[in-house]
């Protein structure tokens, strides 16, 4: 019985979490839809690939970041490049430096830069960030805050 519950819980969390993530961006409905779609896709891809909870959370966060920034203009390879740079930036980059990515096949590129790091009263480490994504010559920027969870994953908080 517990196994069936876990099989249903992961997709349910991946579908509900995107609605909590769209508060990061306030530039309009296309950004919200892109963020929800990206977060759902990232979480579901991680779940389908047999990922653990941290992997699913990371996929959902990165999907939300990328989706909110540019909508559905990025392909799977673009999202992989963006995901790797976001994880690197949130985990290791000093404030004020950026981690960039570029897909040589599509020509799309972007960067993410932590702008502030702090610790909450509850002991969580959080990072404010700004992200830029360029697709077809159109650059979009987004910003928000992600906090590191006890399992090492990052969760968007606003």
What pLDDT digit, counting tens, does each position of 82-123 carry? Answer: 888 988 999 999 999 999 999 999 999 999 999 999 999 999
Q: What whole-number distance in Å separates Cα of residue 132 and Cα of residue 70?
A: 9
Number of domains the chain contains: 1
Task: List, for residues 52-70, the tens digit of each pLDDT value.
Answer: 565 556 555 665 665 554 5
Closest CA to 144 of 124, 123, 128: 128
Global confidence as pTM: 0.57
Q: What whole-number distance in Å separates Cα of residue 116 and Cα of residue 11?
A: 32
Task: List, for residues 11-24, the tens digit of each pLDDT value.
Answer: 434 433 433 343 33
Domain membership of residue 134 as a residue range: 2-156
Q: What whole-number distance in Å separates Cα of residue 107 and Cα of residue 102?
A: 7
What integer is the mean pLDDT of 40-44?
Answer: 50
Query: Six-digit token pair at 70?
Result: 């540019």
């Amino acid at each position: 019985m517990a196994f069936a519950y876990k099989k249903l819980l992961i997709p349910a969390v991946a579908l509900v979490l995107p609605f909590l993530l769209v508060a990061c961006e306030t530039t309009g409905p296309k950004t919200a839809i892109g963020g929800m779609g990206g977060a759902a896709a990232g979480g579901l891809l991680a779940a389908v690939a047999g990922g653990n909870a941290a992997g699913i959370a990371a996929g959902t966060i990165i999907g939300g970041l990328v989706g909110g920034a540019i909508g559905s203009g990025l392909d799977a390879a673009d999202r992989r490049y963006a995901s790797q740079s976001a994880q690197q930036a949130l985990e290791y980059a000093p404030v004020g430096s950026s981690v960039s990515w570029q897909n040589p096949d599509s020509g799309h590129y972007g960067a993410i830069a932590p702008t502030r790091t702090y610790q909450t009263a509850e002991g969580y480490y959080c990072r404010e960030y700004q992200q830029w994504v360029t697709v077809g010559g159109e650059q979009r920027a987004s910003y928000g805050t992600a906090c590191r969870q006890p399992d090492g994953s990052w969760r968007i908080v606003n």
